[in-house]
Amino acid sequence: MIHHDKIPDSDLRNKIKNAEICFGGNRKLKIYGTLKCASGKRMKRENRVFFLSENEAKQNGFRPCGHCMKTEYQNWKNGLI
């Protein structure tokens, strides 16, 4: 897990470009989603974290976003995850 407020923007762009970061999340709400999610783009920088994979997000106790990851969210909500 990488905290957005602890990484320079140039390093962040390089990690996204090199597929070292694939998902973003809100550390206060414990929600993760895609990097293109409109909800994720609105969150405060100090609350934003990044993950390499869904498994990393789940291991850190995050749940899928209901906006950009509807299927995964429904599975989580129904207790299938």
Q: What pLDDT is stored for residue 81 in this prediction? A: 61
Ranges of each domain in the chain: 2-78
Instruction: Compute the chain's Rg from CA coordinates.
Output: 12
Q: Which residues in the chain land under pLDDT 50? A: none
Class of domain 2-78: alpha beta
State the pTM of this model: 0.89
